[in-house]
Structure 1
Amino acid sequence: MAIAQAAFDVEAATRAYLATVSGAARIRSDAYFEGGYWLTLWGALISIGVAYLFLRMGWAARLSAWAQRQTGGRMFLATALFLLVFSLLTAVIELPWQAYTGYFREHQYGMSNQTLGEWLVEMLKGAAISLPITALAIAALFIGVRRSPKRWWAYGAAGTAVVMSFFIAAGPVFIEPLFNTYKPMPASPLQAQILSMARANGVPAHDVLVVDASKQTKRISANVAGLGPTTRVALNDNLLATKDDAGTLSVMGHELGHYVLGHVVVLILSFVVLITLAFLVVSVAVPALIRRNPAWGIKDIGDPGAFAVWSIVFSVFFLLLTPVTNSLIRFNEHQADIFGLNAARAPDGFARSALRLGAYRKLEPGPIEEAIFYDHPSGATRIRMAMQWKSEHLNEPGVR
């Protein structure tokens, strides 16, 4: 065994896989992903600019006063109404940007299968679902700001955890079926292997669902989503269409890893910590900005119109924390990769899946680039990990 392992060159095997994506395909993938760095910056700047426009032109103050008149001064309702109208107006202003990033650019790089009409309908559906819930949640937060000026941030953090848990639990049952059709995967050796792998790792899966994601995108994906009784195992039809059973098993092993390792709870708690820090920054920065800009016409941090100021502070905060949030997610993805390799025992399938993801993720970034901009390990990192795993399990039965 030691001789066989010594004969396997991890780096050479990694380079051989990476060399299969070259020329125009590599250039296209790099350009698509690198462009995303700028999209993050420009998206934040546009959100900040729109919020500042509402403040500078006095629209936020006038909209706040209008909402309070319409609701008879009942501040919870006034805040919710303000947020609904404000969100709709900003969405209209930002629509060209959203259309570019979500539709035209995706078609430019051959990633989307949607027509413009289909994309618009889905965007409207998403807004119809998220806006009312978000407006009510933020209105409740503003009530806490007004009633408990010193402790609202703690109540807000707890509320954020509840809202995030609700969306994660409700998503697979009530939300995702509004956008896609989920059907049981037909009985096959692959289905049996996925279910066996799930049962062997304590995942309560009795079925595997296939989602028709190909009507929207060319991306491959899978997930173990939900919380408690809403948990379900699913993969998309693009992944199934690869006809690469070992690759599909490696992806499913990765997704099962997220469930077994409790990553949903870990990420909820991690982001609640970041939200708490953001609230603390808001509690200092928003009143200071309001005091320094009386022309905005915003009374205080609890004024519905102050949400425009909140959104600026939040945008700056999370833009600066991009490396932190990416690293939190990437660490969990790395753990799931290791779990998937051990569960599926398909290092070459794993490497082939990493290459497929490389169609829209730059395969070989520099170390600093990967640390700042990647919320998943890069293709090169994943393939090298798979080849290292393979080198440690050469000639063992069941390795694919």
Structure 2
Amino acid sequence: MSSPDRRVALVVTAVGGLCFVLLAVLLVPWHPVPGGTPDPVAASSVFSAEQIARAEDYSRWARVWSWSSLAVSLVVSCVLGFSRWGRRLVGRLPGWWWVRVVLAVAAVVVVGRVITLPFAVLMRRHVLANGLSNQGWGGFAADLVRTEVVQIVAMSVLLIVLIGCARRWERSWPAVAAALMGALVLLGSFVYPLLVEPIFNNFTSLPDGPLRTQVLALADREGVPVDDVLVADASRRTTTLNAYVSGFGGTRRVVLYDNLVNDVPQDQALSVVAHELGHAKHDDVLTGSLIGAAGAVFGVGLLALVVGALAGGGRPRMREPAVVPLVLALFAVGSLLSSPIQNAISRQIETRADVDALETTRDADAFEAVQRQLALRSLGDPTPPWLSQLWFGSHPTNLTRIAIARQLAQRDY
């Protein structure tokens, strides 16, 4: 990396890191629970001994298969990225530089998926054996292919932008690429509901009736404009209950899983909806997008420094398609290392949405009942290992969420 290029990368890294910290401090609700977040309630006060044992057994093996897959995937990415194998693979690909980038991304993703496929199959068998999915193997395979295609398309766009900038602006590319990456993160938040969600689910409008009326009334009470209330056919894939709010402004839609509509009492369904409306009320998607954009700027600067430091000795520069395996390996390592920070932010935002739902519905009993249902239907570990929760827990545990509900009920909200 030339001297000006290195200085640009350092400035981009510093600006991205500073913006990330400032946005996290200003926008993330670090103290979302009045009176402070309580300790989790005892598992035995919510679940039977048999239910706890079953959840712990399922979660133990789920962690074995998922963590094994993650470890193998990381090793494959690093072998392809930091050895000559990845460069040789890209060197055999035909076409213009951007075609080779797309093919290189596809090759790395497919190789990683093929090698980790046994873990996906073992995890799928584990899910089916515990009754957590109604989907057949054909549907599972189709969703797997769809997921990989979406990943290939998204990563190809990002890599084409990065390498294209490096080819066009040899010295200042980190600054240009960082600005474009930040913009793409924001754009992705807007287009995801329109382009990606329909790939995996079919949606129909919730028919007129008491539930639709109360969902719209709840949205009005929260001050969240809603264009429609939709039902997703999620039960064909999973038994887990869920809902979410997608879109922005006047295009917002409340989306309910069909099993949430059909399988639980209405007050519990509304508790889940209130949580999701809390996210919309506080513009949590925008908050996450802004923080993510700052993280992308920081990541581009750091990427430029690392790739520049590694360039030479047969290793490619950023402007060459052969750099694709290295960038993907660095992305995989960076994603794993940044997971605790991302999930710490996510847990605080999710906690605020819980508090908002409880204050809006004033129904701690329904909130606690649906948290219990969520845990039982997903066989979530009531007391996951602290390292697992720290690194991969995007939400507070169900027992913590129930403790919050009980604390707020005692305070009369």
Q: How does 1:245-394 map to 2 (within 5 A)?
A: 245-291=266-312, 294=313, 297-359=314-376, 360-365=379-384, 370-393=389-412
CA distance in 2: counterparts of 1:160 and 1:18, whole angstroms:
47
Q: Which amino acid aligns with 1:280?
A: G
Q: Matched residue of 2:382: which SS? A: coil
Q: CA, structure 1 residues 258+151, in 2 after alignment: closer, same or farther (shift >3 Å)? A: farther
Q: CA, structure 1 residues 368+158, in 2 after alignment: closer, same or farther (shift >3 Å)? A: same
Q: CA, structure 1 residues 83+243, in 2 after alignment: closer, same or farther (shift >3 Å)? A: closer
Kept after mapping to 1: 8 A contact 2:278/2:353: yes
Q: CA, structure 1 residues 43+280, in 2 after alignment: closer, same or farther (shift >3 Å)? A: farther
What corresponds to 1:47 in structure 2?
73
Kept after mapping to 1: 8 A contact 2:358/2:367: yes
CA distance in 2: counterparts of 1:383 and 1:49, whole angstroms:
39
Task: Provide, for residues 323-374 of structure 1, a one-character-per-residue CA deviation record: whole Å limited to 9, x for no partner.
Answer: 1111011111011111111122221111111112223322235777644442
Q: Which amino acid aligns with 2:139?
A: E
CA distance in 2: counterparts of 1:34 and 1:288, whole angstroms:
40
Stretches of structure 1 that go unaligned for 5 or more consecutive residues are 1-10, 395-400
Q: CA deviation at 1:192?
A: 1.1
Q: CA, structure 1 residues 18+158, in 2 after alignment: closer, same or farther (shift >3 Å)? A: farther
Stretches of structure 2 that go unaligned for 5 or more consecutive residues are 1-37
Q: Matched residue of 1:218: which SS? A: coil
Q: CA, structure 1 residues 39+311, in 2 after alignment: closer, same or farther (shift >3 Å)? A: farther
1:176 aligned onto 2:197? yes
Which of 47, 51, 57 matches 1:25? 51
CA distance in 1: counterparts of 2:175 and 2:57, whole angstroms:
42
1:134 aligned onto 2:155? yes
CA distance in 1: counterparts of 2:153 and 2:386, whole angstroms:
41
Task: Provide, for residues 9-32 of structure 1, a one-character-per-residue CA deviation record: whole Å limited to 9, x for no partner.
Answer: xx9x955x8534122321232344
CA distance in 2: counterparts of 1:288 and 1:27, whole angstroms:
50
Q: CA deviation at 1:155?
A: 3.5
What corresponds to 2:223 in structure 1?
202
Q: CA deviation at 1:376?
A: 0.4
CA distance in 2: counterparts of 1:264 and 1:157, whole angstroms:
21
Q: How does 1:216-255 map to 2 (within 5 A)?
A: 216-255=237-276
CA distance in 1: counterparts of 2:339 and 2:83, whole angstroms:
30
Q: CA, structure 1 residues 50+361, in 2 after alignment: closer, same or farther (shift >3 Å)? A: same
Kept after mapping to 2: 8 A contact 1:224/1:233: yes
Kept after mapping to 2: 8 A contact 1:60/1:305: yes
Q: CA, structure 1 residues 55+274, in 2 after alignment: closer, same or farther (shift >3 Å)? A: closer
Q: CA deviation at 1:307?
A: 2.0
Kept after mapping to 1: 8 A contact 2:227/2:252: no
What corresponds to 1:64 in structure 2?
90
Q: Matched residue of 2:196: which SS? A: helix
CA distance in 2: counterparts of 1:226 and 1:209, whole angstroms:
12
What corresponds to 1:100 in structure 2?
122
CA distance in 2: counterparts of 1:99 and 1:25, whole angstroms:
25
CA distance in 2: counterparts of 1:155 and 1:37, whole angstroms:
40
What corresponds to 2:99 in structure 1?
77
Kept after mapping to 2: 8 A contact 1:168/1:227: no
Q: Which amino acid aligns with 1:65?
A: G
Q: Matched residue of 1:364: which SS? A: coil
CA distance in 2: counterparts of 1:280 and 1:56, whole angstroms:
19
Q: CA, structure 1 residues 278+39, in 2 after alignment: closer, same or farther (shift >3 Å)? A: farther
Deviates more, 1:188-197 or 1:371-380: 371-380
Q: CA deviation at 1:237?
A: 1.4
Q: Matched residue of 2:87: which SS? A: helix
CA distance in 1: counterparts of 2:116 and 2:155, whole angstroms:
18
Q: CA, structure 1 residues 307+347, in 2 after alignment: closer, same or farther (shift >3 Å)? A: same
Q: How many residue pairs end up in the alignment?
A: 374
**Higher RCO structure (Cα 8 Å, ≥6 apart):** 2
Kept after mapping to 1: 8 A contact 2:244/2:254: yes
Q: Matched residue of 1:217: which SS? A: coil
Q: Which amino acid aligns with 1:62?
A: R
Kept after mapping to 2: 8 A contact 1:44/1:319: no
CA distance in 1: counterparts of 2:392 and 2:154, whole angstroms:
30
TM-score (norm 1): 0.83
CA distance in 2: counterparts of 1:90 and 1:355, whole angstroms:
36
What corresponds to 2:184 in structure 1?
163
CA distance in 1: counterparts of 2:104 and 2:64, whole angstroms:
31
Q: CA deviation at 1:167?
A: 3.8
Deviates more, 1:78-87 or 1:304-313: 78-87
Q: CA deviation at 1:190?
A: 2.3
Q: Which amino acid aligns with 1:326?
A: N
Kept after mapping to 2: 8 A contact 1:28/1:109: no
Q: Matched residue of 1:114: which SS? A: coil
Q: CA deviation at 1:65?
A: 2.3
Q: CA deviation at 1:212?
A: 1.2
CA distance in 2: counterparts of 1:14 and 1:275, whole angstroms:
38
Q: CA, structure 1 residues 312+126, in 2 after alignment: closer, same or farther (shift >3 Å)? A: closer
Kept after mapping to 2: 8 A contact 1:77/1:139: no
What corresponds to 1:124 in structure 2?
145
Q: CA deviation at 1:53?
A: 3.6
